[in-house]
Amino acid sequence: MLGALVAAYVTTNTSMSLFFAVLAGALVSGTACVLTDLLVIGPIERRGSGEELPALVAVTAVLFLLQQLGGTFFGRAPLPGSDWVDGVPVRLGSTSIPRQVLVTAAVTFVIFTAVALWMRRTELGRLLRAIGDSPGAAQILGLPVKQVRILAFAAAGVIVAIAGCLFSATSGVQADNGFTWTLYGFFALVVGGRASIFGPLVGGVCLALVQTYAVFVFGGGALQYSTLVVGLLFFVLKPTGILTRQLRT
């Protein structure tokens, strides 16, 4: 939300190109993510005894703060996003697909592939996975937990900023979008499963298909009903998500 707001504000109010606007959004979002970890989440986690509740309250408070910051600096009214490419829609048989949708799909695929390669093929990626699996053990082994964590938060900030810029091209962006976008992102993660890097992609596609089909058949309110049903089904009955890791017994 913050990255998309910055990019939309820059393109609307300055003569800066879209590339630099997205760059500015990614920079602000990445910095906000790192500061969030350094100043809020990290200290609160260290003070607690591994409880989830203080971290949940801290994350919600930060999200609330970012929404208020966004609303104060960029206004409460929706800002229009910018298309990354111009031109007439591409025709595939009887279907007409806007170029922006194709760009969104392509950029999404590139980001997921890059993150997967980073995680599997690089030393830093393996380090990140090791720390994520067992932060305590990583600390005892003398691994650079703090530095890797900062890098992870920065990467997360940049990725969500790009996602926000892509999404705002079709829907616009406003400060109040923060909670809803975070909520749908979390749903996509749970539905897809955390066992694979591509889990959130699968979850996002499934959730979007259900939401779109429900709205098409039952009308506007079905967006929320279908999300609730999908959420209850997966959260309660299959919290591991669609993509699960097979373990030998």
Nearer to other proteins, 27 or 40 (CB): 40
In the complex, minimum distance from the CB of residue 52 to other proteins, in angstroms, rounded to a whole number: 4
Burial of 228 (0-12, 13-18, 19+ CB in 10 A): exposed
CB 26 within 8 A of CB 157: yes
In the complex, minimum distance from the CB of residue 11 to other proteins, in angstroms, rounded to a whole number: 24
In the complex, minimum distance from the CB of residue 7 to other proteins, in angstroms, rounded to a whole number: 21
Give CA–CA dist 247/249, Å, rounded. 6
Nearer to other proteins, 56 or 105 (CB): 56
In the complex, minimum distance from the CB of residue 113 to other proteins, in angstroms, rounded to a whole number: 27
Residue 91's φ and ψ, nearest 5 degrees, are -100, 130
Nearer to other proteins, 54 or 172 (CB): 54
Nearer to other proteins, 18 or 38 (CB): 38
Binding footprint of other proteins on the chain (CB under 8 A): 39-40, 43-44, 47, 52-54, 56-58, 60-62, 64-65, 67-69, 71-72, 176, 179-180, 183, 186-187, 190, 219-221, 223-225, 227-228, 231-232, 235-236, 239
Give CA–CA dist 114/120, Å, rounded. 10
In the complex, minimum distance from the CB of residue 65 to other proteins, in angstroms, rounded to a whole number: 4
Give the H/E segment covering residue 91.
strand 90-92
CB 83 within 8 A of CB 169: yes
In the complex, minimum distance from the CB of residue 67 to other proteins, in angstroms, rounded to a whole number: 8
Nearer to other proteins, 161 or 230 (CB): 230
User: What DSSP state is assigned to residue 49?
Assistant: T
Nearer to other proteins, 127 or 152 (CB): 152
In the complex, minimum distance from the CB of residue 174 to other proteins, in angstroms, rounded to a whole number: 13
Burial of 57 (0-12, 13-18, 19+ CB in 10 A): exposed
H helix intervals, the chain: 2-13, 18-35, 42-47, 53-74, 99-121, 123-133, 135-140, 145-171, 177-192, 199-218, 222-232
CB atoms within 10 A of CB 49: 6
Nearer to other proteins, 11 or 211 (CB): 211
Give CA–CA dist 221/219, Å, rounded. 6
